[in-house]
Amino acid sequence: MQIDRNNLDELTARLTLTVEPADYTERVEKILNQYKKTSQYPGFRKGKAPMALIRKQYAAPVLADEMNKIISESLSGYIQKEKLEILGNPIPETSTETSGNWEKPEKFTFTYEIGLAPEISLEFGRSAKFTRHVIKVDKKAIEAATQDHCRRHGSISEPETASATDLIMGHFTQLDASDNPLEGGIESDSNIALEHLNDKKSRKQLTGAKVGDVFVLDPHKVSHGHDDLGKMLGVSHEQVHDLKSNFKFEVKEVKRLTPHANDQELWDKVLGKDVVAAEKDFRSKVSDELHSQFDRDAEHVFRRRFVVDLIEYMKIQMPDAFLKRWIQKNNEQPLSQEQMDKEYPNYAESMRWQLLQQAVMKASDMRVSAEELEEEAKRVIGAQYAQYGMPLEGEMLDNFAKNALSNDEERRRIADIIIERKVVDELKPKVTIKDKSVSFDDFAKLAAEVR
């Protein structure tokens, strides 16, 4: 077996495999002899049929099968021996003809194309500058946080009619084109917060609503984007895209939140008994709380944005043409050019991040221990239950974590979280990072871009 390599460019190469009879004859003969021992042909006892008969029926398919194995073994061995870092798998070269006669086998040649992983440098230099956006802790932010504490510790009542700031709970029923209930349509129990409705007409329509009232609504006008509407109706993001019908909304409950007064009782509830005794001191504590919270938020958004910005800064070249052919070849259904143009950039960016992670892990000899996996699993699961007001602790949390890690897919997901965190921690000191103060609204836009 001989393999010759011809570099087509920096990231693709052609491998030409020359397979001689000595490479396959013994393997093929061994299988044909096994077939002969078990073959049954009319006029011959079992295992006594002439080899010429066996060859005529089986030689070509056996040779083809063994040739595939030889090629696979040889390519794998060559790549390992030459220490080639490849992307995807070798694919047959379409521009070069295969030579060889399957009926009268002698020498065969096959050509394959391989995509090579680019070299990743972890030396970034002074020009690698990135921005960490932090929300300004100004009077507006302090006032908003103060009002939030008042609302959180406020009281809930059930008024007879809804005001423009109340929460209406009810049942959604999908309607047909004539505004009659659609058979087999979507139904969901959900709520509408009138205070946050952007559509003034819908807010006016629902203000004054009582339990038992029924309204015909455009669901897109009482929600905030496709994700919010999907949660409201209990359907997928994709279903929301094609949703054009109205819905009947029957009011089941009206809830009103009356904020707590900004007084000593509130301060004690938020900070503890007699920690502060004046409003200015309470606002000072709120300011400290905001600085801490905003710093955590800034770090979270920065880390998500940093991954994208660093990949863009590094301009890692990829064997794009090869990868597109490889994706097309391995996809169950052929992709149109439009689909490929739409999906490939995201695939390539994900691949660049994987390559960068691998380079960092190799350079720092990074590992993920069993203890780290268990602690991360407990953190992730604990946070999930906490957001629903169901805190998990002790043995119950330990058992949930162990159960999650017994699932290979979940184990990989949790390991990926740890690896990404470690990789970002490793990369941050290698670049220049500067904080920049921004408004809450501007920060919200930045955060929305990296969810």
195, 229, 258: which is the final residue of a domain?
258
Look over the chain and give the mean of its residue pLDDT values, rounded to a whole number: 91
Residue 440 in any domain: the answer is yes
Is 71 a member of any domain? Answer: yes
- Do 292 and 367 lie in a common domain? yes
| Any domain includes 122 | no
47: left (phi over 0), alpha (psi -120 to 50) or beta: left
Is the pTM for the entire model greater than 0.75? no
If one compares 161 and 40, the residue with the highest pLDDT of the two is: 161
What is the full DSSP assignment across 207-248? TT--TT-EEEE-GGGGSSHHHHHHHHHT--HHHHHT----EE
pLDDT at site 7: 93
Residue 299 shares a structural domain with residue 204: no
**Residue 9 domain boundaries:** 2-116
Q: Does residue 422 share a domain with residue 336? A: yes
Do the domain assignments include residue 145? no
Residue 165 is encoded by which pair of tokens? 């700031």
Dump pLDDT digits (tens) for 241-283. 889 899 999 999 999 999 999 999 999 999 999 999 999 999 9
Sheet with 86-92, strands from edge to edge, namely: 2-7, 12-19, 108-116, 86-92
pLDDT above 80 (res 104) = no
- List the CATH number of the domain containing 159: 3.10.50.30
Angle formed by the axes of helices 370-386 and 394-405, nearest 10°: 120
Residue 136 falls inside a structural domain: no
Range scoring the smallest mean pLDDT among 221-230, 431-440, 441-450: 441-450
**Quick one: 274 and 243 in the same domain?**
no
- Residues 41-89: tens digit of each pLDDT: 888 888 888 888 888 888 889 999 999 999 999 999 999 999 999 999 9
- 169 and 23, same structural domain? no
298 and 433 share one domain: yes
Q: Are residues 238 and 186 in the same domain?
A: yes
Q: Are 304 and 434 within one domain?
A: yes
User: For the domain that residue 355 is a member of, what is the CATH number?
Assistant: 1.10.3120
Indicate if 253 and 273 belong to the same structural domain: no
Q: Where do the H-state alpha helices sit in 264-336?
A: 264-271, 279-314, 320-330
167 band by pLDDT with thresholds 50, 70 and 90:
very high
**Domain with 81 in it: what CATH number?**
3.30.70.1050
- pLDDT higher than threshold 70 for residue 99: no
pLDDT at 298 over 80: yes
Q: What is the number of domains present in the chain?
A: 3
Do 93 and 202 share a domain, yes or no? no
Q: Which residues contact 74 (CB under 8 A, 6 or more apart)?
A: 1, 3, 17
Question: Are 436 and 361 within one domain?
Answer: yes
| DSSP single-letter state for residue 159 | -
Task: Check whether 326 has a pLDDT greater than 90.
Answer: yes
Cβ count near 402 (within 10 Å) = 12
Specify if 210 maps to a domain: yes
Q: Are residues 230 and 272 in the same domain?
A: no
